Structure 1
Amino acid sequence: MVPEGFVRHRLAVAVLLATLAGSGFVASAHADPVIGSNNVVVADPSVPRPPGQPCVVTLFSDLTFTDFNTRPYSYTPPAACNGRWAKVVLEADFSVTAGRQYDRTASLWLGGVNLYFGTTQEPSATVSPAWHVERDLTDYTALLRSAGAGQAIIGNVVNSTYTGVIHGSARLLFYPATAQARAADVPDAVYPLGADPVGSTTTLNTSTDKLARTLTLPRNVERAYLDVFTQSQSGDEFWYTCVPDAYAAQVQECGGGNFREAEISIDGQPAGVAPVYPWIYTGGIDPYLWRPTPGVQTLNFMPYRIDLTPFAGQLSDGTPHEVAVQVAGANGYFSATATLLVYRDAHAQQVTGSITRNTLVGQAPTPTIGSTLATASNGDISGDITTRLERKFEIEGVAQTSHGRVTSTVTQKVGFDDVQRFTINSSTYRQQTLQRTWADSVSQHRIGSVLTTEQRQRFNYPFTLDYNQQLASDGSISAATTVHQGYHQHDERRLFGMSLYAAEVENTVDSADTLAFDASGALTGHSGQQSAQTFVFHDSLGGCYRTSLTTQAGVLASYSAGPGCPDHHNRVSWFAHPDGSPDSSLSPGR
């Protein structure tokens, strides 16, 4: 039997959402960029805000990054907004002076917890790019209730060759809860993985390396989630083009294969998987591809959230537990960080329970490799190398809570499908990458035999890369590159089998450019630069965001915001997540 109070709470949520369905929208606040500008421009939405004035806490202002030292800062909660918050938003602004500089990894931390993770835009001799990023940190409210130490990390080299100096500022905006914007349903505790008490990433060079932390959690854990970032670096930066070692020399590519996937474990037991997104940084493959529009999420990564709620009873037993992340296929290397979010049962001092089913155990992340590569008598090489893996698993756990006996089940289907197509002869080196990564998951919670809440999510990461290098009779070389990146996300929440909320996010970037080299290998120029980005969000409450842009020859050629939305305006609810950031609150209205 479902407790009466539990039913009343969920029905109240449904009534609230019905009320919000026709109101609470906020229009896009930023002005359209200038056509012809060569500054950074993206179609991504900003984080929507509730009504009212926020309290602002500055983390740092106009810091310069010229070396690999961290930049420490201190944080104190806002005294003027010491009540409950409807939303918390991180805003950061970065720039780099004109000159020569690599793209750099950027991250912000507080008390060991990651607040922001991304990379920087490369400058040129004549362009000093500046860009703005935002992240919804509402789910990290428990961390932000206390003062703490933080640091900004952007490792950079400035000398006579690499001259670009990076600058940055960051602040937190706290929106007080009001009658129009109720307090957020947030986790009760936030735990960083990793050993650094202030914060930094962990290097995972191989599949066996672990980002791990042993924690003794409260004895009344009701729900748990893990936000995971896995960023490719160094030899793994272009992991999506690599091939198995057996073929690397033949096709002149990096070895180690191209399957990558984050594996999550608790006390050594598999607990879930997170797909790895093929981010391309602004110096990647051909830097002109990403001026002025970078690839999908390049400047602002989104974490992937794993539902660990089936382990709630096990995590509540009062003993230490290891929570760990590994990257299957890592080959020197991935930077990883993760944050554990815990909801507690306010009406129970002790939650008990255990895992009752885990079919992920024994399913090793070992892809199937195939090849049609053939070498002709004259040495020409052509054919495909394929890499495929698909798994389906179910993890179920029971927990005795103040609501009764809760059964939590996470069912996930994950897949990876990759084709590396090669054409190699005396005048041509062409590699075509056709890749798709996907993850479908369903999280269900039952009290007794009654299905109460359910969340369905679907992620799809299509990626294609065509690199076509041609050698002319005079020894000069042209290298034409086209890239397609996609990020597709579907989210749906159900209450007692009825759809409560659904949302779709679709972000695509298409870029093309051709580099020219003389017979000595020196770059002589480039041509045909063009790109297009389209970002679409819509939800079942009438929220709509549609923005698209095109670039040509390194400047913004067109920009359109709102077409296809009511009144041709982008309008989303203040509590929505149009950027695709994770949200595990029981009600989308928070």
Structure 2
Amino acid sequence: MLLGGVAQAAPDSSPIGSANVTVADPTVPRPPGQPCVVQLFSDDTFNDFGTRPYGYAPPTGCGTHWAKVVLEADFSVTAGVQFDRTASIWLGGVNLYFGTTQEPRSNLAPNWHVERDLTDYSALFRNSGQGQAVLYNLVDSTYTGVIHGSARLLFYPASVVAPAPRVPDAVYPLGSDPVGNTVTLNNSSSQMAATLTLPANVERAYLDVFTQSQSNDEFWYTCVPDQYAAETQECGGGNFREAEISIDGQPAGVAPVYPWIYTGGIDLFIWKPTPGVQALNFMPYRVDLTPFAGMLSNGSPHTVAVSVQGANSYFSATASLLVYQDHGAKQVSGALLRNTLAGQSPTPTIGSTLQQDSSGNVTGAVTTDLSRHFVIEGYVDTSHGRVTTTVDQTVGFADTQTFGITATDFHQITDQLTSVEGVSRSRIGNFLSGEFEARFRYPLHVDVNQATESNGDYSILTSIKQGYDQHTGMSLGGFPLYWADVHNNVAGSDTLVLDSGFHIVSHSGQQATQNFAFHDSLGGCYSGSVSSANNLVTAYSTGQDCAGEQNRVLWFAHPDGSPYLGDSLLPW
């Protein structure tokens, strides 16, 4: 296969000095050639709690198998006052985009651009359908910011230098809305589920999962178990969250929950002009369900479900099931061989060193820890032999909430690390045909130090660091084929002053930095950095850590951290 490269250039003009949204994230790399464009909606106004429906028809003149499919969306909000809002785009019940919005200022109407690689969803786009944009927004005399948005799909025709990858043959949404919307998961028992009768020749299956914290759960990562809530003056319900995937009630996989911080979160000034990690554009987590492929092909209906362990009102969730079929057989057979995830309860270990002295001062820490290792294995008898797939994974969660509380001061430090170490191995007979390794780390550090001033005001110094670290690697026949690393880190701080009624009086010392880096084994490189102070961009660079200080990413790579398991880099 010929490999084309895409050199990613810096913006036409420097953003230094701007107060508008500025991020270090890469765009989706594109193959050569002119794309066919399908406009989904254009300059829609979001000023109420209604959806914005649209009709979709496949592009003409681009065939039905594409080298790449990319969603582009542009949003803006008028100057004034407005909360961060959740935005999503759907087609036929399947999620195309999920994220939140930037908050405006009285004299600033920010705008921003997002992209998502949807090549693995190509089967969805071959037929006409109904879609909708969902962006609920309250506009009244207090909350005046009106949000506008446009979105389109770009279809890049396949060519000799950019062949169409093998993509899933079918995409199935989880959820109850046939056009598309999220599902509310209020507690650990709440489920988002779909009962499906799948084709009789499924050979691989994956689930793309989004779980977004809302309402009482928005700041779940700072909460403590109920028994410590009053003493620490914090939210109860604990801080362990994890998405649990099941098939017919049997545990089938785990999806970690990312601690996204939205643009109004904790201290809204930290995120102007650079939002937190993925705040405007969430990345899904892909779960390998291939060990269940033989069972899913038996002609019976099967229920695929997602829940969030620890949910405490509430999480918004959506998921899409991606299915590959055996093109050489109408019927396959198989079975699940072992599943050590079943029987492993997602119940963390809680520890405490909290102490309270005679004056009522509280010091110490609350810890929450859980680590699970599991193996899920199954086989499918396909037209190219018996394929046995083993998913071997360790998921970890470690959280420490440290407190120093007096009558006039409240100091809380959150240190949290969610981690995944996993590998999926496929064998045809005794031959190791494919191996996919994936490692994720979600570090989070939040330091909030609140002091009561002599005039009754509250001074709150907040420092936040969050990261998204991903390593993926593929091997064929036991020989390394490809690897890629993604690192996205944001750090910022600010001091808020609130009056006794908790109204904002002032803020000072805002500063933030985002660093984004991507490298892969084929020489692909992307680096970007943006810094701000007093809510203006003070530094911006791109390509600084790449050869010749030039970003260069191969067109089929995923520098943004989006999932790519099962694309053209695998031969079957």
* Among candidates 94, 105, 109, match of residue 113 of structure 1: 94
- How big is each residue's C-alpha offset from its partner over 1:548-585, in whole Å with a ceiling of 9 and x where there is no partner? 11000001000011112111001100000000000122
- SS of match in other structure, 1:81: coil
Find the counterpart in structure 2 of residue 53 from structure 1: 34
- SS of match in other structure, 2:187: coil
Indicate conservation of the 8 Å contact 1:89/1:137, yes or no. Answer: yes
Find the counterpart in structure 1 of residue 16 from structure 2: 35
Give the drift of 1:416: 0.2
For 1:192, give the aligned amino acid.
P
TM-score (norm 2): 0.98
Find the counterpart in structure 1 of residue 271 from structure 2: 290
1:368 maps onto 2:349 in alignment: yes
Find the counterpart in structure 2 of residue 13 from structure 1: none
Q: Cα 1:477–1:215, aligned 2, differ >3 Å: closer, same or farther? A: same
- How big is each residue's C-alpha offset from its partner over 1:108-145, in whole Å with a ceiling of 9 and x where there is no partner? 00000000000000101011000000000000000000
Indicate conservation of the 8 Å contact 1:576/1:588, yes or no. Answer: no
1:548 maps onto 2:544 in alignment: no
Find the counterpart in structure 1 of residue 281 from structure 2: 300
Indicate conservation of the 8 Å contact 2:165/2:567, yes or no. Answer: no
- SS of match in other structure, 1:197: coil
For 1:547, give the aligned amino acid.
G
Find the counterpart in structure 2 of residue 187 from structure 1: 168
Aligned mates of 1:522, 1:133 — CA distance in 2: 32
Find the counterpart in structure 2 of residue 84 from structure 1: 65
* Among candidates 245, 248, 260, match of residue 279 of structure 1: 260
Find the counterpart in structure 2 of residue 357 from structure 1: 338
1:207 maps onto 2:185 in alignment: no
1:509 maps onto 2:490 in alignment: yes
RMSD: 1.1
Find the counterpart in structure 2 of residue 7 from structure 1: none
1:533 maps onto 2:514 in alignment: yes
For 1:332, give the aligned amino acid.
S
Find the counterpart in structure 2 of residue 324 from structure 1: 305
Give the drift of 1:521: 4.0
1:450 maps onto 2:431 in alignment: yes
For 1:321, give the aligned amino acid.
H
For 1:315, give the aligned amino acid.
L
Give the drift of 1:516: 1.0
Give the drift of 1:374: 0.3
Aligned mates of 1:414, 1:360 — CA distance in 2: 11
- How big is each residue's C-alpha offset from its partner over 1:22-74, in whole Å with a ceiling of 9 and x where there is no partner? x5343337435421000000000000000010000000000000111000000
Structure 2 stretches lacking a partner, 5+ long: none
Aligned mates of 2:20, 2:7 — CA distance in 1: 26
Give the drift of 1:587: 3.8
* Among candidates 158, 165, 176, match of residue 139 of structure 2: 158
Aligned mates of 1:519, 1:236 — CA distance in 2: 25
Give the drift of 1:472: 2.0
- How big is each residue's C-alpha offset from its partner over 1:79-104, in whole Å with a ceiling of 9 and x where there is no partner? 12124210000000000000010000
Find the counterpart in structure 2 of residue 8 from structure 1: none
1:94 maps onto 2:78 in alignment: no
Aligned mates of 1:297, 1:558 — CA distance in 2: 20
* Among candidates 268, 292, 295, match of residue 249 of structure 2: 268
Indicate conservation of the 8 Å contact 1:575/1:589, yes or no. Answer: no
Indicate conservation of the 8 Å contact 2:490/2:512, yes or no. Answer: yes
Find the counterpart in structure 2 of residue 475 from structure 1: 456
Find the counterpart in structure 2 of residue 395 from structure 1: 376
- SS of match in other structure, 1:79: coil
Aligned mates of 1:550, 1:27 — CA distance in 2: 20
Aligned mates of 1:40, 1:118 — CA distance in 2: 15
Aligned mates of 1:261, 1:454 — CA distance in 2: 25
For 1:114, give the aligned amino acid.
N
1:460 maps onto 2:453 in alignment: no
- SS of match in other structure, 1:332: strand
> Which stretch of the first structure deviates more once superposed, 433-442 or 512-521?
512-521
- SS of match in other structure, 2:69: strand
- Aligned pairs for 1:106-255 (under 5 A) are 106-255=87-236
Q: How many residues align?
A: 571
Give the drift of 1:519: 4.7
* Among candidates 293, 296, 303, match of residue 312 of structure 1: 293
Structure 1 stretches lacking a partner, 5+ long: 1-15
Aligned mates of 1:582, 1:236 — CA distance in 2: 26
- SS of match in other structure, 2:227: helix
- How big is each residue's C-alpha offset from its partner over 1:497-531, in whole Å with a ceiling of 9 and x where there is no partner? 11000000000000100001245543210000000
- SS of match in other structure, 2:312: coil
Indicate conservation of the 8 Å contact 2:242/2:310, yes or no. Answer: yes
Indicate conservation of the 8 Å contact 1:57/1:173, yes or no. Answer: yes
TM-score (norm 1): 0.95
Q: Cα 1:389–1:131, aligned 2, differ >3 Å: closer, same or farther? A: same
Indicate conservation of the 8 Å contact 1:26/1:574, yes or no. Answer: no
Identity of aligned residues (%): 64
Find the counterpart in structure 1 of residue 467 from structure 2: 486
- SS of match in other structure, 2:245: strand
Indicate conservation of the 8 Å contact 2:15/2:22, yes or no. Answer: no
